[in-house]
């Protein structure tokens, strides 16, 4: 092996890489928050909504979980504009990520909701809490606590699979890398550096989620 | 301009065989690699443990797309000329090894420790202990999540389209570029993936329910 590694072109482009990293972080965190919101609504519909709502949610989950993210992305970016909806690559990427995460997180959250003992909900109703109060304080919060590890690893998986949105040039970290490699031809070096950045991002995200847990869900319970 | 007709439909449908072939390669290779990873993670040797852990962390901590790029652009650096076929195959095998290895590690650790101790007491050495005592029992627990993971493998092969390997997604892109009928094209592509993945998802869910019932008894 007599390859001459040349990282200087890569490091010279650090402002671009930083910009791309920031876009990836922004996309992932926005998609996480919106996707979780979608999941909470869908999980509610699936566990205690009317029958037609359950069918719709089930169809949504099965459809998303059994097709690749890349195809969903192409669908949002190429097929929906054909129906008259014009939007940027960035918006299409964000929507695709939200829709994708929503389906996976719904399934995870449903498992959590089903683990809440029936008696706990009845106790809440007996204490004269309103339906939405019961859902928020007695069902949702303990359910989130119970499935927190699975949920956060899904968030991190989403951040990593957001590299795929570079396929429609959505200005994320991998898109920046692809542009750089077409200018400098240092593809191997660039992708090594970018892979390291993703690895560090994954570590940073798991630290952030641990912090959120301590802030919001770390209360004593009898388990 | 071409319109979307039967030949276009057939072109995409035929590309499904490459998706299936790539999935099978990734799964077969990933199963072998995954077994090594799982055995390494559960082994007594510090070295095997550390190297398996590092392998898993690298492949679970970076995007599959980047792994694909690194193999595709990295292989020429060490003097091997690869086509998208080989690059996609290698990257998917490595990635699948890491994920299956982690799933199977959990299954091996779920086998009660007394089983290993009993095998020790009977004088079985490592190979016999694993092959005849631990792994057959772990296999039974591992089956539903493994079938479920096959769905992820099939979906993962779609990324090979980005480095130019003509499987279903790439075939869809090609036809879309020629016909400009993205709605039909990508619905068909999604439909093919759904037809491949959904039966596996249902099977995995059914096996999981059956197992939960068997364990509850």
pTM value > 0.95: no
A77-112, pLDDT tens digit by residue?
999 888 888 889 999 999 999 999 999 999 999 999
Do the beta carbons of residue A79 and residue A16 sit within 8 Å? no
For residue B119, how many other CB atoms are within 10 A of its CB?
18
Count of CA atoms in the C-beta half-sphere (13 A) of A16: 18
Q: Is the pLDDT confidence value at A223 over 80?
A: no
Average model confidence (pLDDT) for chain B? Answer: 94
Q: Which fold has domain B6-216?
A: MetI-like fold (1.10.3720)
B87-104, pLDDT tens digit by residue?
999 999 999 999 999 999
Do the beta carbons of residue A85 and residue B215 sit within 8 Å? no
- Give the model's pLDDT for residue A222: 62
A46-85, pLDDT tens digit by residue?
988 899 999 999 999 999 999 999 999 999 999 988 888 8
Instruction: Give the residue from B8, B35, B155, B73 showing the smallest Cα distance to A161.
Output: B155
**Interaxial angle between packed helices B182-216 and B6-42, expressed in degrees from 0 to 180 and rounded to the nearest 10:** 40
A contact test, residue of B61, B63, B157 with most A CBs within 10 A: B63
What mean pLDDT is predicted for residues B132-158?
95
Neighboring chain B residues of A188 at a CB cutoff of 8 Å: 70, 73-74, 77
What is the chain A residue with the closest CA to B187? A75
- Whole-complex ipTM: 0.92
What is the chain B residue with the closest CA to A68? B155
Q: Are the beta carbons of B158 and A68 separated by less than 8 Å? A: yes
A160-211, pLDDT tens digit by residue?
999 999 999 888 999 999 999 888 888 899 999 999 999 999 999 999 999 9
Q: Are the beta carbons of A199 and B169 separated by less than 8 Å? A: no
Q: Read out DSSP for B130-190?
A: IIIIIHHHHHHHHHHHHHHHHHHHHHHGGGGGGGT--SHHHHHHHHHHHH--HHHHHHHHH
- Give the model's pLDDT for residue A81: 87
- Give the model's pLDDT for residue A162: 95
Domains and CATH numbers, chain A: 8-216 (1.10.3720.10)
Q: Give the minimum alpha-carbon distance from B13 to chain A in angstroms, rounded to a whole number.
A: 15
User: Would you call A29 an interface residue with chain B, using a CB distance cutoff of 8 Å?
Assistant: no
Instruction: Give the residue from A11, A30, A33 showing the smallest Cα distance to A22.
Output: A30
What mean pLDDT is predicted for residues B20-27?
96
């Amino acid at each position: 092996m007599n390859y001459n590694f040349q990282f200087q072109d890569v490091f010279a482009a650090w402002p671009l890489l930083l910009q791309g990293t920031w876009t990836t972080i922004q996309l992932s965190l926005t998609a996480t928050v919106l996707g979780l919101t979608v999941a909470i609504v869908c999980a509610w519909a699936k566990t205690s909504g009317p029958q037609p709502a359950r069918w719709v949610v089930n169809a949504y989950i099965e459809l998303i979980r059994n097709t690749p993210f890349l195809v969903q992305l192409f669908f949002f970016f190429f097929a929906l504009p054909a129906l008259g909806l014009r939007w940027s690559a960035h918006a299409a990427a964000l929507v695709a990520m939200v829709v994708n995460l929503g389906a996976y997180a719904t399934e995870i959250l449903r498992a959590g909701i089903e683990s809440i003992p029936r008696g706990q909900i009845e106790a809440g109703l007996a204490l004269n809490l309103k339906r939405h109060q019961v859902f928020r304080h007695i069902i949702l919060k303990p359910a989130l606590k119970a499935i927190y590890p699975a949920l956060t690893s899904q968030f991190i998986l989403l951040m990593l699979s957001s590299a795929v949105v570079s396929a429609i040039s959505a200005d994320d970290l991998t898109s920046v890398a692809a542009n750089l490699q077409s200018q400098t031809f240092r593809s191997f070096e660039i992708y090594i550096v970018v892979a390291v950045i993703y690895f560090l991002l994954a570590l940073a995200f798991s630290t952030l989620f641990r912090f959120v847990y301590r802030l919001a869900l770390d209360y004593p319970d009898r388990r | 301009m071409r319109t979307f007709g039967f030949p276009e439909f057939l072109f995409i449908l035929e590309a499904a065989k490459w998706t299936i072939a790539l999935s099978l390669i990734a799964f077969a290779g990933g199963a072998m690699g995954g077994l090594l990873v799982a055995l390494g993670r559960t082994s007594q040797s510090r070295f095997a443990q550390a190297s398996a852990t590092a392998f898993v962390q690298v492949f679970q901590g970076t995007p599959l797309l980047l792994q694909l790029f690194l193999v595709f652009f990295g292989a020429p650096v060490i003097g091997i000329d690869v086509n998208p076929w080989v690059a996609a195959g290698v990257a998917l095998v490595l990635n699948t090894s890491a994920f299956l290895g982690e799933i199977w590690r959990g299954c091996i650790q779920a086998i009660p420790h007394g089983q290993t101790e009993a095998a020790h007491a009977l004088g079985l050495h490592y190979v016999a202990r694993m092959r005849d005592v631990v792994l057959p029992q772990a296999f039974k627990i591992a089956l539903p999540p493994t079938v479920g993971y096959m769905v992820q493998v099939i979906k993962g092969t779609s990324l090979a389209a980005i480095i130019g390997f003509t499987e279903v997604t790439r075939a869809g892109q090609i036809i879309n570029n020629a016909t400009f009928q993205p709605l039909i094209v990508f619905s068909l592509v999604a439909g093919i993936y759904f037809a491949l993945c959904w039966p596996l998802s249902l099977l995995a869910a059914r096996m999981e329910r059956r197992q939960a019932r068997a364990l509850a008894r």
